[in-house]
Amino acid sequence: MTAERAPVGARHVAIIMDGNGRWAKKRHLPRAVGHQRGVEAVREVVRAARTMGLEALTLYAFSTENWRRPEEEVSALMGLLKRYIMADLEEFVANNVRLRIIGNYKSLSADIVTLLDDALARTAGNDGTTLAVALNYGSQDEIARAAARAAAEGAITPEAIAAQLDTADLPPLDLLIRTSGEIRLSNFLLWQAAYAELWFTDVLWPDFTPAHLQAALEDFAARERRYGGR
């Protein structure tokens, strides 16, 4: 199997990108350096997702809980986000990548909101891989918002809630990956992961490569998905 095409059946992959801080600590470097190397890993994995033919890749970039981190670290993360979007937007446009944001990004600083709105508008017509970035995102908050909107329109059913989720326009989640050896979902895509396959690795996020993504996809392709059946 080559690295140019994802195994048949994998349409939507999500990743909890964990381990930047531990990567830096192991090397006696500031946490900011770990986050910088993490951005490089994002860049390579996004490119690989496109060449592998994934319809959607969702990345957990900043959670509602991450605001509890030191102000200096939060500021550095937001700065990295801005630089990444500014540096890679033209590549998204040229390579037919559609950018999506899930979570309450409108509550971020005005300069970031303006930058993201521009990137969303410029890539809205692209119909290749969708890169969904979870910013100021928490799945419990997402479900609560979706349920409230469903209730305002009528009966609260699983179908009505699903139609109001931030990811409603994306394919169903097939595979959720978490790096760094942690084995939990951390309030990420709880509804969407109901029947997704899970893949955990001890690799810290800055060391995660397209080869690791390919290995996860190959493992996914070998699994039998029963959706509660026998």
18 is a catalytic site residue = yes
Coil, helix or strand at residue 138: coil
Active-site annotation holder among 20, 66, 166, 174: 66
Residue 149 zone, left/alpha/beta (φ > 0; ψ -120 to 50; rest): alpha
Active-site annotation holder among 18, 88, 166, 174: 18
Coil, helix or strand at residue 56: strand
Rounded to 5°, angle at Cα 137 from 158 and 191 = 25
Token pair 């709880």 in the structure block, residue: 190
Q: Is the dihedral of CA 64, 17, 130, 11 positive or negative?
A: negative
66 is a catalytic site residue = yes
Nearest alpha-carbon partner for 203 in 44, 11, 38, 72: 38
- The residues assigned a catalytic role are 18, 66
